[in-house]
Amino acid sequence: MLVDLHTHSTASDGTQPPAELVAEAAEVGLDVVAITDHDTTSGWGEASEAAVRAGVALVPGVEVSCQAGGISVHLLAYLHDPTWAGLVDELDRARASRRTRAARIVAKLAVDLPITFEDVLAATPEGATLGRPHIADALVARRLVGSRDEAFARFLHAGSPYYAVHYAPDAVRAVRLVRAAGGVPVMAHPFAGQRGYLVDDEVVAELAEAGLAGLEVNHPDHDEQARRRGLRLAAGLGLLVTGASDYHGSGKANRLGQCLTPASVLAAIEEQGHGTGVVRG
Q: Which residues bind Zn ion (CB under 5 A)?
A: 63, 246
Residue 13 binding Fe ion, by CB under 5 A: yes
Q: Based on CB atoms, which residue is closest to ligand AMP, 22 or 94?
A: 94
What is the smallest separation between the CB atom of 267 and ligand AMP, expressed in angstroms? 28
What residues contact residue 67 under an 8 Å CB cut-off, 6+ apart? 73, 168, 169, 170, 171
Instruction: Pick what 89 binds: Zn ion, Fe ion, ligand AMP, none; C-beta below 5 to 8 Å, kind-dependent.
Output: none
Q: Specify which residues 72 forms β-bridges with.
A: 67
Residue 252 binding Fe ion, by CB under 5 A: no
What is the smallest separation between the CB atom of 248 and Zn ion, expressed in angstroms? 7
What is the smallest separation between the CB atom of 52 and Fe ion, expressed in angstroms? 26
What is the smallest separation between the CB atom of 138 and ligand AMP, expressed in angstroms? 13
What is the smallest separation between the CB atom of 164 and ligand AMP, expressed in angstroms? 10
Residues that bind ligand AMP (CB under 6 A): 13, 38, 131-133, 148-149, 152, 248, 251-252
What is the smallest separation between the CB atom of 130 and ligand AMP, expressed in angstroms? 7
Residue 148 binding Fe ion, by CB under 5 A: no
What is the smallest separation between the CB atom of 116 and Zn ion, expressed in angstroms? 27
Query: Which of these ranges, 102-110, 182-190, 199-207, 228-236, lies near Fe ion under the rule CB under 5 A?
Result: 182-190
Instruction: Pick what 132 binds: ligand AMP, Zn ion, Fe ion, none; C-beta below 5 to 8 Å, kind-dependent.
Output: ligand AMP
Measured over the CA atoms of residue 150, residue 151, residue 156 and residue 162, the dihedral's sign is: positive
Q: Based on CB atoms, which residue is closest to Fe ion, 15 or 48?
A: 15
C-alpha to C-alpha distance for 15 and 8, rounded to whole angstroms: 8
Residues that contact Fe ion, how many (by CB under 5 A) = 3
Residue 39 binding Fe ion, by CB under 5 A: no
Answer whether 116's CB lies under 8 Å from 110's CB: yes
Residue 74 binding Fe ion, by CB under 5 A: yes
Of residues 187 through 206, those in contact with Fe ion by CB under 5 A are 188
Which of these, 48, 22, 34, lies nearest to 246 by C-alpha position? Answer: 34
Instruction: Pick what 191 binds: ligand AMP, Zn ion, Fe ion, none; C-beta below 5 to 8 Å, kind-dependent.
Output: none
Q: Based on CB atoms, which residue is closest to Fe ion, 54 or 77?
A: 77
